[in-house]
């Protein structure tokens, strides 16, 4: 199922969505400005806490869509999550998080444990948010594997409990016409190993593409490929280390409007066959966006043989 076919924010039953991707940033203010320079509307900064009000170690800025969102995480305290953020940025600044949403994070935790993953305790997290009606709290339950189980970064599964507080209508309209998160693209040193691991993690089989392997989810997907295949796709991005979450695709209403936004922000881009490619501004790290009006125009979703 493509993102055009499913604009529900929250999955039902056994569905699994690509919920959001996360940049790890050293400077939250600069990262929020970088999102704005590309035509995204950035939400106010917030600090994440546990149910007891204790700091988790990170805060965030987001760009919310009709389907999914972009998150920028920054360190707020010397807690385990803050230390993990520092370690990730030391490897490369950029995207280190891919989160998948399900209807029952507890059931996902049990499934992953049965699949052989070493698991952390389920985390109940929240962050304060302002709404048009006044202060509120965004709450979510996160299922996490132990560090090192998913070499790509913070690959996790979560359940949202407060949809209205997270996806506020006033945050969903962007100057660049973005409407949704589609796919995340990961370069891997061993695509075969990563494919088997992601299949266990997502509970879904992989399919072949012209660039590597793909996991099609009930909304969005994951693309795995070698560094050589990634270089053909994004020759302007030097892979800093493997594995590398190097690209993600964003659905837009209009590529022309998207290009105008990038021009206003002073960001270089390349218009290709049915999509637009742009590197992240430096404050968001190494990697890039692929903007498209229809997901079947993404190069890795195109029929093999079409450039």
**Domains of the chain, with CATH numbers?**
3-171 (3.10.180.10), 178-297 (3.10.180.10)
Q: What is the pLDDT of residue 307?
A: 46
Q: Which residues of the chain have pLDDT under 50?
A: 1-5, 305-307
pLDDT computed for residue 6 by the predictor: 56
Pick from 239, 246, 240, 258: nearest CA to 222? 246
pLDDT confidence of residue 48: 61
Rounded to two decimals, what is the model's pTM? 0.92
Q: 145: which DSSP letter?
A: B
DSSP 8-class letter at 284: G
Which pLDDT does position 52 carry in this prediction? Answer: 67
* CA atoms of 194 and 150, how far apart (whole Å): 9
Predicted pLDDT of residue 103: 97
Specify whether the CB–CB gap between 283 and 30 falls below 8 A: yes
Token couple for 260: 């105008």
Residue 135 has a pLDDT of 86
The contacts found for 265-274 with CB under 8 angstroms, 24 or more apart, are: 265/36, 265/37, 265/38, 265/39, 266/37, 267/37, 267/38, 270/236, 272/299, 273/297, 273/299, 273/306, 273/307
Q: What is the pLDDT of residue 71?
A: 95
CA distances for 116 relative to 119, 159, 269, angstroms: 9, 21, 42
* pLDDT tens, residue by residue, 31-52: 999 999 999 999 988 766 566 6
Q: How far apart are CA 6 and CA 8, in angstroms?
A: 6
Radius of gyration of the chain (CA): 18
- With beta carbons less than 8 A apart as the criterion, state whether 122 and 142 touch: yes
Strands (E), the chain: 17-24, 46-49, 55-64, 69-75, 94-101, 123-131, 134-144, 154-160, 178-187, 207-208, 212-216, 221-225, 244-252, 270-271, 275-279, 288-292
Question: Residue 266 region, left (φ>0) first, then alpha (ψ -120 to 50), else beta?
Answer: left
- Which pLDDT score is estimated for 7? 67
User: Residue 164: its pLDDT value, please?
Assistant: 85
β-pairing verdict for 134-144 and 123-131:
antiparallel
- Is residue 138 within 8 Å of residue 126, measured between CB atoms? yes
> Taking Cα atoms as reference points, which of 243, 228, 225, 237 lies closest to residue 286?
237
Give me the pLDDT at residue 92, please: 96
């Amino acid at each position: 199922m493509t993102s055009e076919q499913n604009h529900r924010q929250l999955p039902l039953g056994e569905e699994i969505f690509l919920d959001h991707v996360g940049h790890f940033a050293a400077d939250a203010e600069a990262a929020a400005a970088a999102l704005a320079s590309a035509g995204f509307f950035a939400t106010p900064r917030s600090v994440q806490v546990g149910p007891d009000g204790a700091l988790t170690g990170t805060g965030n800025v987001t760009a919310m869509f009709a389907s999914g969102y972009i998150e920028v995480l920054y360190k707020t305290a010397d807690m385990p999550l803050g230390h993990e953020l520092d370690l990730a940025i030391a490897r490369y600044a950029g995207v280190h998080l891919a989160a998948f949403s399900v209807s029952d994070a507890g059931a996902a935790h049990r499934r992953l444990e049965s699949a052989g993953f070493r698991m952390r305790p389920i985390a109940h997290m929240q962050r304060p948010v302002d709404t048009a009606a006044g202060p509120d709290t965004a709450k979510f339950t996160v299922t996490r594997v132990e560090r090192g189980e998913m070499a790509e970064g913070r690959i996790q599964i979560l359940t949202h409990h407060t949809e209205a507080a997270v996806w506020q209508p006033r945050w969903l309209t962007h100057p660049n016409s973005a409407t949704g998160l589609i796919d995340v693209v990961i370069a891997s040193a061993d695509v075969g190993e990563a494919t088997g691991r992601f299949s266990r993690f997502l509970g879904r089989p992989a399919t072949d593409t012209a660039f590597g392997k793909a996991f099609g989810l009930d909304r969005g997907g994951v693309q795995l490929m070698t560094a050589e295949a990634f270089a053909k796709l994004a020759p302007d991005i030097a892979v800093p280390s493997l594995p590398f979450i190097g690209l993600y695709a964003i659905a837009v209403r209009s590529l022309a409007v998207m290009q105008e936004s990038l021009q206003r922000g002073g960001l270089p881009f390349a218009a290709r066959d049915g999509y637009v490619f742009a590197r992240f501004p430096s404050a968001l790290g190494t990697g890039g966006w692929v903007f498209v009006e229809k997901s079947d125009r993404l190069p890795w979703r195109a029929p093999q043989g079409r450039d």
